[in-house]
Structure 1
Amino acid sequence: MEPTQPAEDLILTQQPPTSELGDPEDPGEEAADGSDTVVLSLFPCTPEPVNPEPDASVSSPQAGSCLKHSTTLTNRQRGNEVSALPATLDSLSIHQLAAQGELDQLKEHLRKGDNLVNKPDERGFTPLIWASAFGEIETVRFLLEWGADPHILAKERESALSLASTGGYTDIVGLLLERDVDINIYDWNGGTPLLYAVRGNHVKCVEALLARGADLTTEADSGYTPMDLAVALGYRKVQQVIENHILKLFQSNLVPADPE
C-alpha cells in the first residue's frame, strides 16, 4: 500500500553537554554517527550509508533518517571510570544521568526523594524511557529493580519498549517484555515496537518481538506493515525473518489436534 505522504518524524533531543552511548545489541545492522538525537521515522526513505570512519564527527541527522548510534569509543571502553567530569555530572538531571548510564550519580539522585524513579520530564519521558532509548541496559535493569514502571507512556504515547526497539537494543526489549508491557503499543508518531525495529533493520530485535507475539498486521501511519517496510527498504534479512515467522504460524495452524 503506497502512502500519500510520509508520517511525521518525531525528534527527541537530549540536552547534556556530552553523551556516551552504548552500542546496540545488533550494531552491524544500522548506520552510525556521534549524535545524541533520537529520530523516529516510519517512512521508508533510502537508508543512509555507514560512515567508514568510526571516530569521525558527524552532524545531527536530518528528519526522516534512522536512529543514530555513536561509534566512537566510550570512556568505559577506553578504561576510564567516569564518562564526564564530576562538576558536569553534578549539573545533570535524573533523566540525563539515566540516558548516559551514570549509575552512581543516578542512585544518589534517587535517594533524594520519593517517586523520582518515575518522574517525567517535559516530554513525559521517565528515566527508564531515556535509559531504554540510549541502550543503557545496566541502568534499565537497576531502574526496574528500584521500581520504575515500564508501562508509563510519554506525552505522545512513546514507550520504553518502542524506543528500545528503535535502537535495536534486544536485551532491553527482553527485560521490558518480561514485565508484561504492551508489545503492540501504538504511539502518536504512527508506529509499534515491531515497526520501529523493522525500520531500523534490527534483525535480532525483530526476531525477539515476533517470538513474543508482536502483531504483523499493524500498519504505520505511512500505510506500511512491517513486511512492507522490509521490502521497500530492501532489508532482506528482516524480510526473511518475517517470512519464516509467517511460515511457522501457517504450519502450526495445519497441525491436527490430538484425538481425545
Structure 2
Amino acid sequence: MAEYKHQAIDHRTEDLNGLALIDASKNGPEELVKSFLSTDGIDVNSTYHERSSLHWAVERGHQAIVQLLIDHGAQIGARDACGLTPPMLTCANHDSTLVEISLDQHDNPRKKDFYNQLPSILALRTENCPLQGSERMKALIEVLLNNCTNSDLEVRDRYGRTSLSLAVRIGNEDIIKLLLNREADKNCALFFAIRDENADSFKMSLKEGVNIEVRDLKGYTPLLSAVQRNHTYAVKMLLQYNADLEARDPYTIQNLSISFN
C-alpha cells in the first residue's frame, strides 16, 4: 500500500471510476501515479466531471505525469465538458510540449472547443497572458501557426474574438507580427487597436500599410470609429495619414468635417 494524503490506499481495491488515478494525476506525486498505472483494473481514460487524468495533469502542469499517462494510452484528443482537449488546456499555460506530442500522434491542432475557440485563441485570452513578452507564449503560437491555415486566423469565437484581436488587446508586438506575416487581416488589427485604445498596436498597424478608409461591418471607417470612441491619439494619427474628413457617419448621415467644426 502507498501513503497518500495521510491515508493508506489499497491498490487491490477495485477502482471502478479511476478516481484514485485522477486524484493522483491532479496532485501527484509521480510515483503514486506509476503505482496506480501498474495495477490491474485501472482505466487511464476514466473521467470525473468529464475530465480525464490527462486533463487534470495538464492543467496542473505536471509534465512528467502527463508523459507517463500518454505512455500508458491516455487519449490526447478526449474532450471535457467545454470541448477542451488536453493540448488545448496546455495552450493556456503557454507550453508547446504537449502540442508537439499531440502533433506527433496526428491529433488535429485546429480543433475548436464548444465556444469555437481555436488553440491560438485559448493561448491569447487576456486572463492567460500575464507576461506580454512571454517567450513561451511566442514559441507556442509559432508551433500553432505552423500547423494551421491562413483562414484559421480569421476564425471568431463565440464572443467575436480572433487570434489577432486578442494579440492586439494584450499588446504583444511579436505575436502581432507573426499573425500579420501569416496574412491575418491587417485592417481588422487597426480597428481592434482603436477599440482597445492601444497606441503601440495602433502605430504598428498603420506601418503595415492598412487601408485607412476601409469600413467595418457597421459601416465605420477607422477615423469615424476613433471619433465615436473619443480616441484623440488615433484621430490625430489618422489625420496625419490623410484620413478622409468627408467620410459619412452611416447613422447620422453627416460627414466628419461637421464634427470638427
TM-score of the two chains, using structure 2 as the length reference: 0.49
Larger Rg: 1 or 2?
Answer: 2
Name the one with the larger helix percent.
2
TM-score of the two chains, using structure 1 as the length reference: 0.49
Q: Which has the higher contact order (CA 8 A, sep 6+)?
A: 1
